[in-house]
Structure 1
Amino acid sequence: MSNKIRWGVLGGGGDSLIGVLHRVAASMFDAYQLTGAVFNPDFEANKAFANEIGIPTSRIYKDFDTMVAEELKLAKSERIQVFSVLTPNFLHFPMAKKLLENGFHVICEKPMTMTYAEALELEAIQKQNNNIFALTHTYTGYPMVRQMKKMIEEGVLGDIQKVDVQYYQGWINPIIHDKEKRNTTWRLDPSKSGISCCMGDIGVHAYQMLEFVTGMEVKTILADLNHLYDDNQMDIDGTVLVRLGKYTKGVIRASQIATAEENNFAVAVYGKKGALKWEQENPNYLYHLVDGEPIKTLKPGNVYNSKLSLDGTKLPPGHPEGIFDAMGNIYKGVAKAVRNQPYDKAEFPSMRDGVRGMNFIETSVASHKEGNVWKEL
């Protein structure tokens, strides 16, 4: 009998980029077996897609509720163990809630929920049922981000003084400047996306990365968001000042109208003894800066890297690793947790990351609406 983890997928059918990303990531370390799914709300399209990617249709279900009910009828040794929730934002909370309440482990796309209150409710359910919950802040899976975290943890930079995180994209430009498009896309519909577009989609990645690599928690924030048009209800650009301590401050800059930018995600951490810089579009380079010394460039796969970084490196030095590999590292960490194997808590973002992320999104919007004032997290 296969010892692979039985894995179910919700959403991610057809030409969904996120669906491909998760399927490739789950296949990387031979830990998961795609066992059942509801890829699409159209049952015929759902079965057709299963045939297209070559999986049996016997556990392709017509809808989510049917899937949970039918899986619970099976013996625990046959039942799906882990579900990935890849649906639009407004479905994350009800699906994750029902899965956790019924004993399933969950891997969820972000934002975790639509509201901070929902996030707290989900956290309480997870604690009560003791399920594994992973939130796919994919960039934490990059080997050199993990190296950055460990170097800061070991005191290489000394006391942290300044953090600067940028996430610039330009993809929404063709939509936002067309009145009909901006009023009909689900991304700009609060009932489907939540109260924030830019901060909810990419700003929360920058916020989570800031706390992940520094090991510190943001205490207060001041946000200035941009909607660009009066009839657009959601932010598509913004700057958030952050305070992590009395003398540790930073900035989060996020935009979906940064014309011609693709996926310009970068993080820089400046300490008393040095600095570290990483860019997602060049993920194999971690730059270490020290006053009076040449810039050092660290690369994945080399023996000078941490155990956590090397565990997430699949290729010898000099061979690029990318976003599929980063997502694969998150799935690898979840597999260790499901199997009760030892794992580093940095191997996958947790429920707590989701709760803090939703708090950040809501507080950013409140800070802006109240006149760009400081707000406690």
Structure 2
Amino acid sequence: MNRKLRMGMIGGGLDAFIGAIHRLAANMDGKIELVCGALSINEEIAIKSGKALFLNEDRIYKNYEEMLEKEAALPADQRMDFVTIVTPNFAHFAPAMKALEKGFHVVIEKPITLSLEEAKQLKAKVEETGLILCLTHTYTGYPMVKEAKDLIAKGELGKIRKVFVEYRQGWLSRLSEREGNAGAAWRTDAKKSGKSGVMGDIGTHAFNLAEYISGLQVSELCADLNVVVDGRALDDDGAVLLRFNNGASGVLMATQVAAGEENNLSIRIYGEQGGIEWQQQEPNTLLVKWYDKPMEVRRAGQGYLSAIAKQNTRTPGGHPEGYLEAFANLYRNFTQTLAARMEGGSVDASVVEFPSVNEGIRGMAFIENVVRSNESGEKWVSYTI
């Protein structure tokens, strides 16, 4: 295209963490410009945030309804091309549905909605409109995650037998939601976060990563959820036994009360011939362990990597790439896909890809099945959507 794609944003004002992350990621390749926003449910913060980001005052909106109505009424050469939704979980569904109804493509934070039923309705609307939806499961954007996925897809490990995925945080080790921490407050409120705390917030990331890299789907699960911190309303710790559709088994652990841990997401997958190991806190390294030969250490930025890993690598080997770059890869792949669509073309989806509404459906089903299993006397439950 001979211009930047025009982005609007719902949520993500100056008092929010994730909005700034999205803006940095979207700006990284110089292909996107933020042209409008309804940046907070607090009108004063919304206006102040828009001015701080140098938006035109007539495109700083007080709420998302006003924004979507007025943007849709603008001439095609002025209105936004897509909207990014970075609100808390309970405020995902309504703006996403309205955006699609008004003809706008959508980038949305995970989990995709507050419930599985909402996610199904959103999928139906995406299919009805033919518009593009990108779900920001950030960790799928790392080049060495792509490399692991490609290695398994090519069958180099043989049939997959075992999956271990862990996501350990410690930031909710205290009752932070009652100490003025706004992020903790909504994440531990079922009306705003959903049926599960830890599994909705970070367990969905671990689940998505396990399915994404392995290429498998969970068919059954057995879950145990815990409220560790006295006085907390939602689970802050849990473990899930997994069975996959090829017969493999797995274990998923997610906790936000592992005091001293920061953002420790790790995954190990084993097949007949060997296994892989990747950690988010050392993201440029992928360990490949073989049954009958020495372990390999594969590194980002090297010429021997797969095409999909190279597509998502930004710097030469030895230059650290991290969370922001992984996030930016989602935006780059989304915008390449959208730009090609707008010009009547297409991209090679085998290397230019990103999570969609389908991953959103599976993530919401994961949360609901985990809660159902936890509440069941039988424990093992069939995975239903």
Task: Spell out the pairing of 1:35-114 with structure 2 (5 A cutoff).
Answer: 35-114=35-114
Task: Spell out the pairing of 1:21-40 with structure 2 (5 A cutoff).
Answer: 21-40=21-40
TM-score by length of 1: 0.95
Name structure 1 gaps, 5 residues minimum.
Answer: none
1:50 and 1:242, CA in 2 relative to 1: closer, same or farther beyond 3 A?
same
Match of 1:342 in 2: 347
Distance 1:207 1:306 in 2: 24
1:359 Cα deviation from its structure 2 partner? 0.3
Given the alignment of the two structures, is residue 327 of structure 1 paired with residue 333 of structure 2, yes or no?
no
1:120-170 CA deviation, whole Å, 9 max, x = no partner? 111011000011001100000000000000000011111000000000001
Distance 2:206 2:121 in 1: 24
Query: Percent identity of the aligned residues?
Result: 39
1:229-280 CA deviation, whole Å, 9 max, x = no partner? 6753311110000100363100100001111110010011000011000000
Match of 1:142 in 2: 142
1:178 Cα deviation from its structure 2 partner? 6.4
Given the alignment of the two structures, is residue 363 of structure 1 paired with residue 363 of structure 2, yes or no?
no
Output the amino acid matched with 2:239.
T
Match of 1:239 in 2: 239
1:153-199 CA deviation, whole Å, 9 max, x = no partner? 011111000000000001111226969989x9222111111111100
- 8 Å contact from structure 1 (residues 329, 347) kept in 2: no
1:313-361 CA deviation, whole Å, 9 max, x = no partner? 1101110001100010000111022122304256210100000000000
- 8 Å contact from structure 1 (residues 175, 181) kept in 2: no
Distance 1:114 1:324 in 2: 26
- 8 Å contact from structure 2 (residues 178, 185) kept in 1: no
1:103-135 CA deviation, whole Å, 9 max, x = no partner? 110000011011111111110110000110011
Moved more, 204-213 or 344-353: 344-353
Match of 1:376 in 2: 382
Task: Spell out the pairing of 1:84-233 with structure 2 (5 A cutoff).
Answer: 84-175=84-175, 185-228=185-228, 231-233=231-233
- 8 Å contact from structure 1 (residues 141, 347) kept in 2: no
Output the amino acid matched with 2:347.
P
Distance 2:230 2:264 in 1: 27
Over aligned residue pairs, what C-alpha RMSD do you find?
Answer: 2.0
Distance 1:319 1:371 in 2: 51
Distance 2:173 2:279 in 1: 23
Given the alignment of the two structures, is residue 6 of structure 1 paired with residue 15 of structure 2, yes or no?
no
Distance 1:178 1:249 in 2: 39
Distance 1:152 1:325 in 2: 23
Distance 1:21 1:104 in 2: 21
- 8 Å contact from structure 2 (residues 11, 85) kept in 1: yes
1:349-374 CA deviation, whole Å, 9 max, x = no partner? 01000000000000000100113611
Distance 1:230 1:118 in 2: 31
1:343 and 1:57, CA in 2 relative to 1: closer, same or farther beyond 3 A?
farther
- 8 Å contact from structure 1 (residues 333, 343) kept in 2: no
SS in 1 for 2:175: helix
TM-score by length of 2: 0.93
SS in 2 for 1:174: coil
1:307 and 1:179, CA in 2 relative to 1: closer, same or farther beyond 3 A?
closer
SS in 1 for 2:207: helix
Match of 1:254 in 2: 254
Moved more, 266-275 or 288-297: 288-297
Name structure 2 gaps, 5 residues minimum.
Answer: none
1:76 Cα deviation from its structure 2 partner? 2.2
Moved more, 249-258 or 228-237: 228-237
Given the alignment of the two structures, is residue 300 of structure 1 paired with residue 300 of structure 2, yes or no?
yes
Distance 1:177 1:322 in 2: 29
Moved more, 164-173 or 239-248: 239-248
Give the number of aligned pairs.
Answer: 376
Output the amino acid matched with 2:355.
P
SS in 1 for 2:204: helix
- 8 Å contact from structure 2 (residues 187, 201) kept in 1: no
Distance 2:14 2:295 in 1: 45
